[in-house]
Amino acid sequence: MEMTINFYDVEHGSCTHIITLNNKHILVDIGSKTYKSITSYIRNKYLRYYGGNIDELIITHPHEDHIYDLPQLYNILKPRVLQRPKGAFDIIPTQNTALHKEIADYANKMNREYSNPIGTGENPLYSSNNGGVDIEIISSADSWTTKDDLNTFSSIIIINYEGYKFILTGDNPKSILQNMIEINYCDIKNKISNATALLAPHHGRTGEYCDSFFKLVNPYLTIVSDKSIVHTTQEKTAQLYKGRGAKLYGKERYVLTTRNDGTISFTVTTNSCTVSMNQEGY
């Protein structure tokens, strides 16, 4: 029994890849390095001989750093199922470049095309279809969202497997996370508590650190998906996200960053969870 989760180094962006025992491939966001397609990497490493598709793409929110490689994904490994916050669409490009227009065009096209995502009688989110991996999406309440700030649409993704729990966020504003905890939105307290690892909200920015949320998640490790420090607030990330900690390669670690550690992978079996970091990988 095994599940792998890769948090790819996609610079300032986010892309998480879940591979289940029965060889399902699920992506949460599809950020990518500039000029280096994460989709091509995934195909070459995992799906070259299967002529495969991505089974499911979950978009936390449609900002470019979370959907940068969407055109490639659609053309090379077209996802069978697309989950996204529908209220955020159609989107408009944040910059007036051909690339940004192309990304927005694909996102809007896919949002229309996948209007009825579960068409095949099989929902890949059910653990029975996912080799025992249970995936739940908590989306933002309509009253909290505004198209003026697409971050407000950010979902929280909860992955459970063999007693190990992973909490993935998008660029969730602190105020919404606070609300969710305060009113125990969708029974969130129970669902996110005492996780194995957390993908930090908004690339670990200090300004979006939400203490009540983090204390509840109480992870061993926090993962920050970011590139070299451009927001001075990132310097404080390691102090803020101090969870339970884990001994990795002889060192006590609390926060792993794609910037310093490269792609970060968790391999979970029935009674173990191992972490590896790859400086040279994608």
User: Which parts of this chain interact with Zn ion (CB under 5 A)?
Assistant: 65, 171
How near is the Cβ of 203 to Zn ion at its closest, in Å?
6
Nearer to Zn ion, 24 or 33 (CB): 33
- Return the DSSP state at 149: B
Nearer to Zn ion, 68 or 161 (CB): 68
How near is the Cβ of 66 to Zn ion at its closest, in Å?
6
Q: Per this entry, what is the length of the chain? A: 282
Q: Which two tokens stand for residue 191?
A: 């669902």
Tell me if 200 sits within 8 A of 171, measured CB to CB. Answer: no
Nearer to Zn ion, 69 or 171 (CB): 171
The sign one gets for the Cα dihedral 31, 228, 248, 236 is negative
Dist CA 37 CA 256 (whole Å): 23
Nearer to Zn ion, 46 or 214 (CB): 214
How near is the Cβ of 158 to Zn ion at its closest, in Å?
19
Nearer to Zn ion, 55 or 171 (CB): 171
How near is the Cβ of 168 to Zn ion at its closest, in Å?
12
Q: Is 83 helix (H, G, I), strand (E, B) or coil?
A: strand
How near is the Cβ of 148 to Zn ion at its closest, in Å?
16
Dist CA 22 CA 27 (whole Å): 15
263 HSE (CA, 13 A, CB side):
18
Q: Which two tokens stand for residue 206?
A: 């200090």
Tell me if 73 sits within 8 A of 39, measured CB to CB. Answer: yes
